[in-house]
Structure 1
């Protein structure tokens, strides 16, 4: 004690969420990672395990991959996207809920801190566990997702590259084969790549007006809603054709669900129809993946795969 009266700090208090580092709450971080879409990463990896001929694997590398492709990897995908799209998201009526967060003032630094803290340690661990080929594919997938959102590449604002870069969603399919030194399922990979490009275009149709207003020239903006519906349909047909030799039932499910969505949008080619069909698009990986997964599990249990 020096006998001086206590001083009162004149620094302004920080607003909630304004701090850098980890000021963002866990619930908010989960919202940014869009748990409804985790099936696009986790489901693909699990399907890849089944395509190696195993129902489960005791490989520590695959279990680490499974954990990484939940919150950390999806925070990389959607966190970077939300950081780069703050201006566009402010104009989007569908952001701010389960379809994606609308970042508040001061949350950017905290979100970036969470993204780095959850991804860097996992990537270092996986670098020690994975064979070189598997690690290269994982890093390529992460780089494509980062390039989709982050300048100067920002594939999202580049015609054709916005959808083609979404093959990143398909790449985890081959990680189990590369990790366990099994044959790579090339035909299934190509089918999933085609599906991913088509689905990106279809989902972007609902954002045509908002992206155009924000000055973004995407494939969907360039083609318009009718052209985007035709473009997506062509990719869905290609995906089904590639799946046909592997599973006619899976190919038929993809055509029925995804092709049906594109045809519906083509019949009523406007942004409102695209927005109404979006929940079905979210469910499409569950439906098509479920049909394929049940077949794979059945064949594996019978020992006939």
Structure 2
């Protein structure tokens, strides 16, 4: 698919969504604000200017390139005109969607908010980044597979991963004081079936599309990724209630997007990349195990097993800290500048170190460190991006 075709497809989808949202607003007997058009134009000018600045900067630094035969040929500086279709699509669709939500009944707005919380927006980037980074580092091109893959692992994937969990964990979530905010929705039972339908609609077509974009390796990677998402929470399988396997499966949720990216890019995985994936996997296991500590008492009360209920809070904390240390040390074995990433393990170790002797009775206190952990991921992501830029420019 050429970039002009991809741009036209994106704009067509945005226009269709905007028309549907506008139709909803009209059916409710309302109108869009009188200044809507002017606001949308002003927003596009600002976002397009930022796109031009940063696109030109990144292309000048040779962070990525475009195959000339796939472009229309028109550029603003070094930035191809197609890149400006993305902010235009957002400016067309998002304000109308927002207006439709704003004019919906209070109940509908509350329902929409619950569904959004169910997908854990604060964690969207944690799955989109691994896919985008591995695919872009391998192909060094922005193409339709990259765009669709990043969008899929940004929202639909997280809606499936966390939404399925919230549906089948409702009984225990009622008794968990952490639920109802950024750490997870307390999804009303009447929304369970609609959410599962939304998961199927938003995930299955894109999964099939991504799988068919590559060869057998991509089929396998996509299948394993999807299976891990379902198996973690779905009845009968319920990997989340199988100690240690719960941490393994949870880590797969974050590592598998990176593997899918490598498979779709037809990457030749060397020792350095393999060690990095192993370190990332250990980091993910540590993160899950540490997060499970705070739920020891609610989980036991609900009869839910986990690595933390099986090992106890203290041994689980020590297990997580040990894995973070090993993950950091493993990065020292990768080619330069990979060893720089070893430093990223240090904040996580320091954040959890004070809970080395945590008890089951005091396990709820780990929530303080867990909330720090959520925001630490953004700092780590930023620093990882800088390291990836060094990898890019040095190869």
TM normalised by structure 1 equals: 0.86
Counterpart mapping for 1:143-158 below 5 A: 143-158=227-242
SS in 1 for 2:243: coil
Alignment of 1:291 with 2:383, yes or no, is: yes
Mapping for residues 64-143 of structure 1, pairs under 5 Å? 64-143=148-227
Indicate the SS of the match to 2:210. Answer: helix
Q: Counterpart of 1:257 in 2: which secondary structure?
A: helix
Instruction: Say whether 1:261 aligns with 2:351.
Output: yes
SS at 1:75 equivalent = helix
Secondary structure of 2:368's counterpart equals helix
Task: Find the counterpart in structure 2 of residue 6 from structure 1.
Answer: none
Q: Report the secondary structure of 2:190's partner residue.
A: coil
Q: CA deviation at 1:58?
A: 2.6
The 3 A distance-change label for structure 1 pair 53 and 264 is: farther
Note closer, same or farther for the CA distance 1:24–1:186 as it changes in structure 2 (3 Å cut).
Answer: farther
Aligned equivalents of 2:143, 2:263: Cα separation in 1: 12
Report SS of the residue matched to 1:52.
helix
In structure 2, the CA distance between the partners of 1:60 and 1:50, relative to structure 1 (3 Å rule), is: closer
Query: Any conservation in 1 of the 2:293–2:316 contact (CA below 8 Å)?
Result: yes
Question: Is residue 2:361 matched to residue 1:282?
Answer: no
Matching of residue 241 in structure 1 with residue 333 in structure 2: no
Q: Matches of residues 159-238 of structure 1 in structure 2 within 5 Å?
A: 159-168=243-252, 169-184=254-269, 185-238=273-326
Q: Whose helix proportion is higher, 1 or 2?
A: 2
Q: Deviations over 1:17-61 (max 9, x none)?
A: 7xxxxx99543322110110112201211221354273xx23322
8 A contact 1:211–1:221 mirrored in 2: yes
What residue is the counterpart of 2:146 in the other structure?
62
Out of 28, 31, 36, the residue aligned to residue 114 of structure 2 is 28
Quick check: 1:39–1:285 contact (8 Å CA) kept in 2?
no
> TM-score, normalization: structure 2?
0.67
Aligned length: 280
Unaligned runs of 5+ residues in structure 1 are: 1-15, 18-22
Partner Cα distance (1:159, 1:127) in 2: 31
TM-superposed CA distance for 1:268, in Å, is 4.6
RMSD of the TM alignment (CA)? 2.0
- Paired with 1:51 and 1:242, the residues of 2 have a C-alpha distance of 21
Mark the CA change 1:273 to 1:24 in structure 2 (over 3 Å): closer, same or farther: closer
Greater relative contact order, per chain length (Cα 8 Å cut-off, separation 6+): 1
Q: Which runs of 5+ in 2 are unaligned?
A: 1-106
